[in-house]
Amino acid sequence: MAKRFVLNAVLLALFLGACATERSQPLAIQDPPAGGFSFAVIGCLGYRPAHEPWFENLLTELNKTTLAFVVHVGDLGVPTSGSCTNELLARRLAQFQASANPLVYTPGDNEWTDCHEPNVKGGDPLERLAKVRSVFFHGDNNTFGQRTFALTRQSQSADPAFAKYRENVRWDLGGVTFVTLHVVGSNNGLGRTPEGDAEYRERNKANLAWLQQGFSHAKIRYSRAIVITQQANPFPEFPPFPGTPQNPSGFADLRVQLQKEATAFGKPVVLIHADSHFFRVDKPLGPRGVRDPTVIPALENFTRVETFGSPYHHWVHITADASDPNVFTIRPRIVAANLTQRQ
């Protein structure tokens, strides 16, 4: 009897230990129930100290909403208000880790590209890039948040040239493939300094390779759609806030690759970004204002979604349902506590 009691106790201890080990691991991302799943998109927030309460209001609302995940498409603040400091990076990391939903982050230009004179005295963008990577993209391959799931990182590639690009990730859910690209504003870092141009060329090569691999992966999995997320608006010439096109453009290669891949894929492709601080959903790929019948029109299967940005602290709610011919339903979500007071 005593021996049986000891044996049972040992088995129970092993079982409990196994359970404890299992709970400590990230949950495998599960296929959603019929009807699809929802996720949130945010970015370009908390630009001023006065905006911090608004950012907290937004995070509180997201934490009260059951979502498959949240995507932050970059810009954790502005250089003149601390986005180039270790203190702000640490604060944002803590907020990401506290998220009730899994959270994926891709860097913006305000975290490193724009951390130079005169924005920041003695600023060094490449030093800041290294810091961003060491803070947000070291350690395991999981999302941020209280619930997590595993990500596939470009740094896991067999090609050693891509070993540093841990920020470029991919995951699949409900028949949709998701890909992040490290593409930032300020012309993607091209055209300011020789050192910056060298960094751009290396990162641009990695981004194009990761984009191509993402589409290949989606085809192999027979994904119903693919979603690409990045910080920069690669279509700065389009209103309502047209920028001054730069020559050479830091987005030219990306646009060519996007059009090529989206055409070959033939199923819904969504590019999500921030940067212009203007919520919009449109179809910008292809020529505009051209009536020549020999010119290929805008790609109908390609959709661009831009999220809100400071001073507007709201979010975009996207539902994905593989049984829907269009797959995605896109809605702006206004945080009531952050509504602009009108006279």
Taking only the tens place, the pLDDT of each residue in 139-185 is: 889 999 999 999 999 999 999 999 999 999 999 999 999 999 999 99
Task: Determine, yes or no, domain membership for 4.
Answer: no
319-336 burial, b if ≥16 CB within 10 A, otherwise e? bbbbeeeebbebeebebe
The whole-number pLDDT of residue 298 equals: 73
Read off the pLDDT band of 285 (50, 70, 90). confident
Q: How far apart are the first and last CA of the chain?
A: 82
Residue 1 lies in a domain: no
Give the pTM.
0.88
Supply the mean pLDDT for the chain. 88
Range in 8-17, 26-35, 236-245, 308-317 with the lowest mean pLDDT: 8-17
pLDDT in the model for residue 343: 64
Q: What band does 278 get if pLDDT is binned at 50, 70 and 90?
A: very high
113-128 confidence digits (pLDDT tens): 999 999 999 999 999 9
**Diameter over CA atoms, the chain:** 91
CA-based torsion, 231, 232, 234, 239: positive or negative:
positive
Percent of the chain scored above 90 by pLDDT? 78
Distance between CA atoms of residues 117 and 127, nearest Å: 14
Domain count, the chain: 1
- Going by the DSSP 8-state scheme, the letter that residue 150 receives in this structure is B
Residue 2 belongs to some domain of the structure: no
Instruction: Give a yes or no: residue 22 inside a domain.
Output: no
Give φ, ψ of 59 to 5 degrees. -60, -40
Residue 66 near residue 32, CB atoms below 8 Å:
no
Across the range 292-307, mean pLDDT stands at: 76
**342 or 61, which is more confident:** 61
In a domain, 316, yes or no: yes
pLDDT for residue 296 is more than 90? no
The domain in which residue 129 lies consists of 30-338
- What would the mean pLDDT of 336-343 be, rounded to a whole number? 85
Q: Is residue 8 part of a domain?
A: no
- Report pLDDT digits (tens) over 197-223: 999 999 999 999 999 999 999 999 999
Which residue has better confidence, 288 or 103?
A: 103
Class of residue 109 by CB neighbours under 10 A (exposed 0-12, middle 13-18, buried 19+): buried
Per-residue model confidence as pLDDT tens digits over 32-88: 666 799 999 999 999 999 999 999 999 999 999 999 999 999 999 999 999 999 999
Q: Is there a domain that residue 343 lies in?
A: no
CATH number at residue 234: 3.60.21.10
| Residue 17 falls inside a structural domain | no
